[in-house]
Amino acid sequence: MVLFELTLALLLVAVLLAGVARRLGVPYPPFLAAAGAAIGFLPFAPTITIEPDLALALFIAPVLLDAAFDTSPRDIRRYAWPIASLALVAVVLTTAAVAFVGQKIAGLPLAAAIALGAIVAPPDAAAASAVLSQFRPPRRLLAIMQGETLLNDATALVIYRMAVTAATGSFMLASDGPVFVLLAVASVAAGYLLGRLYIVATAPVHDAPSGTILQFVGTFGVWLLAERIGLSAIITMVVYAMTLAQRAPSRMPARNRVSSYSVWETAVFVLNVLAFLIMGLQARPILAGLSKEHLLEALALAIAVLATVTAVRIMWVLASGAAQRSLRRSQQTKSAFRGDVLISWCGVRGLVTLATAFALPAGFPGRDPIVLSAFFVVLGTLVLQGLTLKPLLRLLRFEEDRSVEDDVSRGRVVVLQAALDSLEGDDSIAAKVMRKQYLAARGVAEDAANPQASTDYDELRLRAVKHQREALYRLRASGTIGDEAFHRLEEEIDWAELDAAPAGRFQPLTT
């Protein structure tokens, strides 16, 4: 009962802190991290234990699916090199550097030191993106960081699994390494097949509550299945989510999509809050269990790890950016350098770091200093980098980027024309009214006060919506517009469909 009451209180505090953060124009995670740590040191704070494997499934699976669903394959292809540089090379370099520090300062065994490096290596750009989107920096930078956030988790968690296996059992790179590669390939195939299977299996479901529940069941089910059969759950989940993102929209009723988006946004927020709460509650028993000598050593390790992850990212981003511009002889040196500076400072660690640290087995070598270091890195990067992004953006003075708005404008012209084409040859009074509305680019909003005017009118509007959807899907499939523009236009069409088919009157024809 105490835990339930504490969770409710923290959720209320989180809403208040999120409101304060929006007022200040800063990301809310730093406030949540500080609140979680403070609660952990209160005298009445309870001790919470959670199964390590459950921590990954509960906190990582939904967040990964949410991030992967919003990731644009077009942007990944377009910015493949910088994304790969950050998601692969930077993660490996950070892991190696932190492992070296862990061995030298804390005397961690090699496998445990590598596990520590893998835990703190992947940044989470969600907090940074929340600030960056307010200032409209170049879309290229946001796309690179979004792609990095999705793919670096896979890289880090593969290394993490190998290190944990080596520390708690027997692992030989020469013999077991190829097995991990094969499992990674199998995970990609499994993610794609499970995504297609989910789409087919849930096609008959049209009510929003059942559809949303099945989304959560599918998400956790895919993760648990991958874990049970020995695949990489992280890779399987990423491919599964991207498969759904590309293929499910054309099959999902608009009402289900509008409902599920709001539910998922809330669920991800709650998971972030609970993760910071649980990690904050771990700080006090960890510190209490360390002797004064070991405590000073653990704090020295935490500070050194924070400095290492920050320095490695800055040096790698600036060095690789300079090398790339030199090879390509880029003329936009000043603008590109400003972009590198911004990306190098967006190394905020978040939920993945917390959950993987907490998922370490109870008897893992050096578990307490590793968990303490992970929490210190998350809290340090959230405060140090998260709260200084806004002044940094002002200092860099990027020109406002309107590429997404341009995509939306181009897409809107096409989808409106598709609606007009669907009315071609129809000389009824309702068709003439609709045609005039589309030509004026006002959609169906003028008739929203009387959505039940006539069944014929509703049928015409739904026919137009159906053609708009088909045109929009072709635009994304051909790469004419990006996924962010696609989702904005999709939302507009969803609301137009819901307006044309009031709840409880008749089902949309597009389903």
pLDDT tens profile 484-494: 888 888 888 88
The confidence score (pLDDT) of residue 179 equals: 66
Mean pLDDT of 108-125: 90
What φ, ψ does residue 46 adopt, rounded to 5°?
A: -75, 160
The confidence score (pLDDT) of residue 177 equals: 58
Lowest mean pLDDT among 108-122, 355-369, 433-447: 433-447
DSSP string for 107-160: ---HHHHHHHHHHHS---THHHHHHHHHH---HHHHHHHHHHHHHHHHHHHHHH
Mean pLDDT of 487-508: 68
141-192 pLDDT, tens digit each: 888 888 888 788 888 888 888 888 888 766 555 455 566 678 878 999 999 9
Q: What is the 3-state secondary structure (H, E, C) of 194-208?
A: HHHHHHHHCCCCCCH
Maximum Cα interatomic distance, the chain, rounded to a whole number of Å: 87
pLDDT-based confidence at residue 338 (cuts at 50, 70, 90): confident
Tokens of 182: 């094969």
Tell me the CA end-to-end span of the chain in Å, nearest whole number: 44
Contact 328, 400 (CB under 8 A): no
- Kindly tell me the burial class for residue 19, based on how many C-beta atoms sit within 10 Å of its own C-beta (0-12, 13-18, 19 or more): exposed
The confidence score (pLDDT) of residue 454 equals: 39
Lowest mean pLDDT among 26-40, 211-225, 392-406, 451-465: 451-465
Task: Evaluate if residue 445 carries a pLDDT over 90.
Answer: no
Task: Evaluate if residue 298 carries a pLDDT over 90.
Answer: no
Task: Evaluate if residue 443 carries a pLDDT over 60.
Answer: no
Q: What is the pTM of this model?
A: 0.74
The confidence score (pLDDT) of residue 414 equals: 78
pLDDT-based confidence at residue 453 (cuts at 50, 70, 90): very low
271-291 pLDDT, tens digit each: 877 776 676 666 677 777 677
What φ, ψ does residue 479 adopt, rounded to 5°?
A: 80, 10
Mean pLDDT of 305-334: 83
CA distance 502 to 146: 36
How far lies 393's CA from each of 60, 178, 353, 389, in Å?
30, 44, 26, 6
pLDDT-based confidence at residue 313 (cuts at 50, 70, 90): very high
Q: Among residues of the chain, what percentage have pLDDT more than 90?
A: 16
- The count of residues in the chain is 511
Task: Evaluate if residue 451 carries a pLDDT over 50.
Answer: no
Lowest mean pLDDT among 96-100, 292-296, 478-482: 292-296
The confidence score (pLDDT) of residue 230 equals: 82
The confidence score (pLDDT) of residue 116 equals: 95
Residue type, position 141, single letter = L
Mean pLDDT of 318-322: 88
The confidence score (pLDDT) of residue 18 equals: 77
CA distance 30 to 276: 10
Mean pLDDT of 238-246: 87
Q: Residue 255 is inside which H or E element, if any?
A: helix 254-288
Residue type, position 135, single letter = F
Contact 262, 88 (CB under 8 A): no
The residue among 362, 221, 359 whose CA lies nearest residue 278 is 359
Mean pLDDT of 440-444: 42
Tokens of 120: 């703190």
CA distance 369 to 377: 12
For 55, residues 6+ apart whose C-beta sits below 8 A from its C-beta are: 355, 358, 359
Q: Share the mean pLDDT of the chain.
A: 79
Task: Evaluate if residue 455 carries a pLDDT over 50.
Answer: no
| Other Cβ atoms within 10 Å of 499 Cβ, number | 17
How far lies 433's CA from each of 232, 425, 430, 452, 501, in Å?
55, 14, 5, 15, 18
The residue among 7, 11, 1, 24 whose CA lies nearest residue 269 is 11
63-86 pLDDT, tens digit each: 778 877 777 788 888 888 888 899
Q: Greater confidence, 258 or 424?
A: 424
The confidence score (pLDDT) of residue 509 equals: 37
For 417, residues 6+ apart whose C-beta sits below 8 A from its C-beta are: 471
